[in-house]
Amino acid sequence: MIKIAPSILSADFADLGREVRRVSSADWLHVDVMDGMFVSNISIGVPVVKSLRKATDMFLDVHLMIEKPVRYIDAFADAGADLLSVHLEADMPPGIRAALEAMERRGVKKGIVLRPITAAEAVLPYIKDVDLILVMTVEPGFGGQKFMTDQLPKIEAIRRYIEEYNPACHLEVDGGVDPNTAPLVVRAGADVLVAGSAVYGAADPAAAIRTLRGE
């Protein structure tokens, strides 16, 4: 079963409650947190997650594009995130490990994320301890970029690792997912698709969600 996670980065932040209701037929809500350091852009932070938690029962999938994310795990857990994902490039391995341990303590689902430059093998030290691996198919920082086809072999490789080491782990793909690229990432082994512009840019977001699911 494919899950669709609309990214609110493409929503109208002045009317976020309505924007969340527009995608309520989706499975998860994807929240992009950017610090202006790990990526050049600055997006949203803890107070917005807290407000989203009051506005919806949807599963909040929070993608942390921040340096040394271990500093913020408790704050986002308190805000009501269901899953936190940290970039492997955002700290040294002990820092990543500490972030995952903090999530475990807080009962939050644990994710790791790979930038396009990072190889599939980088997940191996963590794969048995995480609930989700997120493969970026654009450079993180902005919505509306072009899907990077060269990431498909990496998705396939990580799907093989998941089958071998942790079959319950989700494989999520983020960046440039639209009705044309969704079948490619599903065929490569993804089971959670993030989509910003393909959902919020559509006249009928519910129909766009069904199309992305392959219905």
Binding residues vs ligand DX5 (CB under 6 A): 7, 9-10, 30, 32, 63, 138, 140-141, 143-145, 174-177, 194-198
Could you list the beta-strand ranges (E) of 123-185. Answer: 132-136, 170-174
CB of 5 to Zn ion, least distance (A): 9
CB of 41 to Zn ion, least distance (A): 11
User: Dihedral through CA 186, CA 132, CA 130, CA 91, nearest 10?
Assistant: 110
111 versus 141: smaller Cβ distance to ligand DX5: 141
196 binds, among ligand DX5, Zn ion, none (CB under 5 to 8 A by kind): ligand DX5
154 is a contact residue toward Zn ion (CB under 5 A)? no
| Residue 211 CA, distance from chain mean position | 19
65 versus 105: smaller Cβ distance to Zn ion: 65
174 is a contact residue toward Zn ion (CB under 5 A)? yes
For residues 40 and 67, is the Cβ–Cβ distance under 8 A?
no
Alpha-carbon gap, residue 183 to 31, rounded angstroms:
23
Cβ burial of 119 (10 Å; 0-12, 13-18, 19+) is: exposed
103 binds, among Zn ion, ligand DX5, none (CB under 5 to 8 A by kind): none
Alpha-carbon gap, residue 118 to 102, rounded angstroms:
24
61 is a contact residue toward Zn ion (CB under 5 A)? no
28 versus 126: smaller Cβ distance to ligand DX5: 28
CB of 164 to Zn ion, least distance (A): 26
Residue numbers annotated as active site = 32, 174
**Of the ranges 17-25, 94-102, 160-168, 174-182, which one interacts with Zn ion (CB under 5 A)?**
174-182
Determine which helix (DSSP H) or strand (DSSP E) holds 203, and give its type and residue range.
Answer: none
Check residue 144 and give left, alpha or beta (phi > 0: left; psi -120 to 50: alpha). left
CB of 124 to Zn ion, least distance (A): 23
CB of 136 to Zn ion, least distance (A): 8
195 binds, among Zn ion, ligand DX5, none (CB under 5 to 8 A by kind): ligand DX5
Alpha-carbon gap, residue 76 to 111, rounded angstroms:
14
DSSP character string of 111-132: EEEE-TTS-GGGGTTTGGG-SE
32 is a contact residue toward Zn ion (CB under 5 A)? yes
